[in-house]
Amino acid sequence: MKTIHRRGAIAATLAWLGTAGFAGAIHADEKPLVEVWKSPTCGCCKDWVAHMEEHGFVVRVHDSGNTTMRQRLGLPQQLGSCHTALVGGYVVEGHVPAQDVKRMLAEKPKALGLTVPGMPVGSPGMDGAVYGGRRDPYDVLLVSGRGDAATTRVWRAVR
C-alpha cells in the first residue's frame, strides 16, 4: 500500500472538493478558517461552531454529514465524533476546545490533527444548560498517521 504524506493527502482532498486553499496559510492579521462537516440537525455541532467563533475563528459549515469526509481525511472511525473540521491543514474531530486548536496551529506538530472521540459532557458544544453543569473528564488526542496506521497520544487531559 502506498504511503501518502498527511499534507499531501489533505491537499488532494481539497483539490477533489474544488476548494483548494481554504485551509492554507494563516497570516497574523487573518482569523483562522475552520471548515466543518456535520449533520444539519445536530445541535451540539452548532454549539461547537459558536464556541469556535467566540474564540476568533471564522467557520464555514457544510451540513452534509461528516462520515465521508472523516474517511477521506484518514481519521479512523474509532476516533470519530459528530463533526469533522479542517483548519490550517489539520483535521479537528469532535468537541476539541478552541485553546487546543490554537496551540496546535502555533506549535505545528507533525500530525494529522486533534480529536475528542465521542461526545463527552462538558466539552465545548456538550456543555449547555441541559447538562446541569456536569463535566466528565476527557482527553484531547493528537493523531499521527492515517487510517489503520494512525496512532494517538494525549495532547491535553481535561479534568
Q: Which residues contact 70 (CB under 8 A, 6 or more apart)?
A: 37, 77, 80, 84, 93
Q: Which residues pair with 121 in a beta bridge?
A: none
Q: What is the pLDDT of residues 132-147, one digit of tens each?
A: 999 999 999 999 999 9
**pLDDT for the residue numbered 29:** 62
- Region of residue 41 (phi > 0: left; psi between -120 and 50: alpha; otherwise: beta): alpha
Q: Does domain 6-18+31-158 sit in CATH 3.40.390?
A: no
**pLDDT for the residue numbered 25:** 42
Higher pLDDT, 131 or 24: 131
Asked if 58 contacts 29 with a C-beta cutoff of 8 angstroms, the reply is: no
**pLDDT for the residue numbered 12:** 45
Q: Give long-range contacts, CB 8 A cutoff, 24+ apart: 99-108.
A: 99/55, 100/140, 100/155, 100/156, 101/32, 101/34, 101/52, 101/57, 102/55, 103/155, 104/142, 104/155, 105/26, 105/32
Distance CA 65, CA 77 (A): 14
Q: What is the pLDDT of residues 74-129, one digit of tens each?
A: 999 999 999 999 999 999 999 999 999 999 999 999 999 999 999 999 999 999 99
Strand spans (E) along the chain: 33-38, 58-62, 83-87, 90-94, 113-116, 138-144, 151-158
Confidence of residue 30 (pLDDT cuts 50, 70, 90): confident
Where does the chain have alpha helices with state H? 6-17, 43-54, 67-73, 98-107
- What angle (nearest 5°) sits at the alpha carbon of residue 136, between those of residues 132 and 141? 140
